[in-house]
Amino acid sequence: MRGPGTLVYTSLPAMIDFIRQELSYLSESSDSHSPDAAVRTSRSHGLLRNAIELDWPAADIEHLSVSDAEDVYIVVRPELTAKTREHKIPIAHIWMDNSTVPACPTIDTLNIVSLGFDGSSTAGFFTTFCVVNDRNTCALVTRGKRFHLQRFDEYGPTADDQRDIPHYRVAKLFNSGPNTRLFAIGNVSSKQSMMLLEVSLSPVLVLRELVKIPGLVSGDDVAAVAVESTEKTLIIIAALTGSSRRVIHKISVPRHGQS
């Protein structure tokens, strides 16, 4: 039986130092009676003091992202509820509560549930996730065609804003930060070629085509990052195509006007 996973909340330098220490210990004697054994345990406990136990096994985590030094987001493998056969995706926002001394990690959890009956498999139900507007708001896409917008600090039926995505299938949502432009990689529903899109949420969901991505088709593995500057947004897209060819695309999108 699989047990719950653990998320360790630490800085990258602290993690690097810990790995270096552990590697040095491996090269030394494994005698449990040596004084190094006690030091190793105490240092491990120091690294794990900001650990938080999750409600799900680590193997069930489908997505993990870090937006800044204090906010972590995880998306859990969708589950099919026995009573209603609705698809449910647990999503957690883990953040550092600096009002306590010392600061400790806190977890807020919400469940994205599909509206309407869907008796098919959960495989491929979750598509992509992105933090938008502020640290407490997330957007995700299910089945490539359903857009969800929900807040971690609001509950009830009105907190989950679901909309159909018109004319397109979305494979990836991304931005350079919660308060910046939202981009997507997707394709027209009737075609396989992929393109870069800009997503507008208010007052209605609108996707605007920016540029086609050469050689990229639906089903290819893709990752994307965006970096804002004064005059433009720089987008880097890394793709593994169906022919196992690795491709990097660099796209500049002006801050105003057409690309």
| Mean pLDDT of the chain, nearest integer | 81
pLDDT for 156: 60
Residue 209's nearest CA partner among 199, 220, 223, 217 is: 199
Alpha carbons 153 and 208: distance in angstroms, whole number: 30
Alpha carbons 203 and 200: distance in angstroms, whole number: 8
Is the pLDDT at 27 greater than 80? The verdict is no
Residue 198 burial (CB count, 10 A): 16
pLDDT for 42: 45
Residue 51's nearest CA partner among 102, 6, 100 is: 6
Is the pLDDT at 34 greater than 70? The verdict is no
Beta bridge partners of 223: 238
- Which tops the pLDDT comparison, 1 or 219? 219
Is the pLDDT at 258 greater than 50? The verdict is no
pLDDT for 220: 92
Q: Are 174 and 226 in contact (CB under 8 A)?
A: yes
pLDDT for 242: 77
Alpha carbons 229 and 215: distance in angstroms, whole number: 27
- The predicted-structure confidence for 169-182, as pLDDT tens digits, reads as follows 999 999 987 778 99
- The predicted-structure confidence for 127-161, as pLDDT tens digits, reads as follows 999 999 888 889 999 989 999 998 888 766 556 68
pTM for the whole structure = 0.79
Q: How confident is the model at residue 37 (pLDDT cuts 50, 70, 90)?
A: very low
- Which tops the pLDDT comparison, 36 or 130? 130
- The predicted-structure confidence for 209-246, as pLDDT tens digits, reads as follows 999 999 899 999 999 999 988 889 999 999 998 777 89
pLDDT for 249: 95
